Amino acid sequence: MAEAWVFLDESVPSSQRIFDKLTAGVNNGFLLDAYPDLGLRAIVGERVVQIPDALSVGVWQHIAAVVSPSGEVTLYRDGQRLAGGGDGYGTWVGDGDDAEVVSRAYRLQRFVRTCAGRGEFPIKFNGSIFTVPHAGAPGDADYRRWGPGYWWQNTRLPYYAMLANGDEEQMASLVRMYAVDMLPLLKYRTRAHLNQDGAYLNECVYFWGDIFSESYGWTPAAEREDKLQASRWHKWEWVAAPELSGLLLDYYDHTGNRDWLREVALPAIYEFVLFFDQRYALDETGHYFMHPAQALETWWDCDNPMPEVAGLHAITSRLLGLPAGLLTAEERAFYQQVAARVPPPPTHLVNGEPALAPAARFAQKSNIENPELYAVWPFRLYSFDRPNPELAIRAYEARGDRGHGGWRHDSVFAAHLGLTDEARDSLVIRARSKAATERFPVFWGPNYDWTPDQCHGGVLELTLQKMLLQTDGDRIWLLPAWPADWDADFRLHAPRRTVLEGQVRGGRLTTLTVTPNSRASDVLVVGASER
- In tens, the pLDDT along 250-265 reads 999 999 999 999 999 9
Given pLDDT bands bounded at 50, 70 and 90, which one contains residue 89?
A: very low
What b/e sequence results for 316-341 when a residue is b if at least 16 CB atoms lie within 10 Å of its CB, and e otherwise? bebbeebeeeebeeebeebbeebbeb
Given pLDDT bands bounded at 50, 70 and 90, which one contains residue 88?
A: very low
Q: What top-level class would CATH report for the domain 98-478?
A: mainly alpha
Greatest distance between any 2 Cα atoms in the chain:
72
Half-sphere exposure at residue 487, Cβ-oriented, CA atoms within 13 angstroms: 6
Note the pTM of the prediction, 2 decimals: 0.86
Domain ranges, ordered by start, for the chain: 2-92, 98-478
Given pLDDT bands bounded at 50, 70 and 90, which one contains residue 114?
A: very high
Asked if pLDDT for residue 520 goes beyond 90, the answer is: yes
> How much of the chain exceeds pLDDT 70, in percent?
92
Q: What is the pLDDT of residue 70?
A: 54
Half-sphere exposure at residue 128, Cβ-oriented, CA atoms within 13 angstroms: 26
Q: What is the pLDDT of residue 27?
A: 57
Asked if pLDDT for residue 40 goes beyond 90, the answer is: no
Q: What is the mean pLDDT of residues 81-90?
A: 50
Instruction: Provide the pairing of β-strand 523-525 with 475-478.
Output: parallel
Task: State the Cα–Cα distance between residues 404 and 429, nearest whole angstrom.
Answer: 6
Asked if pLDDT for residue 104 goes beyond 90, the answer is: yes
Half-sphere exposure at residue 29, Cβ-oriented, CA atoms within 13 angstroms: 11
Q: What is the pLDDT of residue 280?
A: 98
Q: What is the pLDDT of residue 11?
A: 64
CATH architecture of 2-92: Sandwich (2.60)
Q: What is the mean pLDDT of residues 353-370?
A: 97
Question: For all residues of the chain together, what is the average pLDDT?
Answer: 92
Confirm if 470 and 133 have CB atoms less than 8 A apart: no
Where does 342-453 have alpha helices with state H? 389-398, 410-416, 420-432
Asked if pLDDT for residue 32 goes beyond 90, the answer is: no
Asked if pLDDT for residue 404 goes beyond 80, the answer is: yes
Q: Which of 71-75, 112-116, 152-156 comes out lowest in average pLDDT? A: 71-75
Q: What is the pLDDT of residue 528?
A: 47
Other C-beta atoms within 10 Å of 7: how many? Answer: 11
Q: What is the mean pLDDT of residues 278-300?
A: 98
Given pLDDT bands bounded at 50, 70 and 90, which one contains residue 134?
A: confident
Given pLDDT bands bounded at 50, 70 and 90, which one contains residue 531?
A: very low
42 vs 444 pLDDT, higher one: 444
Task: State the Cα–Cα distance between residues 368 and 14, nearest whole angstrom.
Answer: 11
Task: State the Cα–Cα distance between residues 128 and 117, nearest whole angstrom.
Answer: 9
Q: What is the pLDDT of residue 157?
A: 98
Q: What is the pLDDT of residue 462?
A: 99
Q: Which of 7-11, 214-218, 438-442, 492-496 comes out lowest in average pLDDT? A: 7-11
Q: What is the pLDDT of residue 16?
A: 79
DSSP-derived secondary structure letter, 186: H
Output the CA–CA distances (angstroms, integers) from residue 276 to 192, 199, 308, 472, 495, in the order listed: 16, 9, 9, 25, 28
Asked if pLDDT for residue 307 goes beyond 50, the answer is: yes
